[in-house]
């Protein structure tokens, strides 16, 4: 599933809507919507372009299945996305900490062959067990 989004003011909301359409009521849709909002917002603010590309695909590693959400931007910022420590009064700077917490550290960034910035995050396909039951 892939969609290129180009209306910057609406991008985070459109990304959430796309995920709901792609996933329906899957248990992970809420967390992936939060992650998409954070990554799309970062791509808009720091990516240096008029577009953002988002994809979602299942993948398997070590016998476990995952959802892999990837957000790509033009990569013009020259900086590598990393969590930072915002000041007490700052309204920004917590997004990648949220992504890190929701994914248990299963996210990364790289440049594509075309020089675009790709940031991906991964969540388990199956719902985690809570007290012996699926959540």
Q: Which CATH architecture has domain 2-78+92-127?
A: 2-Layer Sandwich (3.30)
Q: What is the DSSP letter of 28?
A: T
**Per this entry, what is the length of the chain?**
135
List, in order, residues 6 or more apart from 95 with CB less than 8 Å away: 38, 39, 41, 42
What is the per-residue pLDDT for 133?
44
Structure tokens at 63: 């016998």
Cα-based torsion angle of the residue sequence 37, 39, 42, 43 in order, rounded to the nearest 10 degrees: -110
- Residue 13's H or E segment, with its range, is helix 11-23
The more confidently predicted of residues 45 and 19 is 19
User: Cα(128)–Cα(43) distance, rounded to whole angstroms?
Assistant: 29
Structure tokens at 75: 């990569």
Q: Flag whether pLDDT at 121 surpasses 90.
A: yes
Instruction: Identify which of 3-17, 48-62, 107-121 has the greatest average pLDDT.
Output: 107-121
Structure tokens at 2: 């892939």
What is the per-residue pLDDT for 47?
84
93 pLDDT band, cuts 50/70/90, is low
109 pLDDT band, cuts 50/70/90, is very high
Least confident segment among 39-43, 46-50, 59-63, 117-121: 46-50
Q: What is the mean pLDDT of residues 89-107?
A: 82
Domain limits, the chain? 2-78+92-127
Q: What is the mean pLDDT of residues 100-122?
A: 94
What is the per-residue pLDDT for 27?
92
């Amino acid at each position: 599933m892939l969609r290129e989004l180009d209306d910057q003011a609406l991008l985070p909301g459109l990304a959430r809507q796309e995920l709901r359409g792609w996933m329906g009521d899957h248990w992970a849709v809420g967390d992936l919507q939060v992650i998409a909002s954070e990554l799309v917002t970062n791509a808009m603010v720091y990516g240096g372009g008029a577009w953002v590309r988002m994809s979602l695909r299942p993948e398997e590693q070590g016998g476990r299945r995952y959802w892999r959400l990837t957000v790509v931007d033009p990569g013009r910022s020259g900086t590598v996305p990393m969590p930072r420590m915002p000041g007490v009064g700052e309204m920004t700077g917590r997004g990648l900490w949220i992504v890190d917490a929701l994914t248990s550290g299963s996210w990364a960034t790289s440049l594509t062959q075309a020089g675009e910035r790709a940031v991906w995050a991964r969540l388990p396909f199956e719902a985690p067990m809570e007290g012996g039951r699926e959540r």
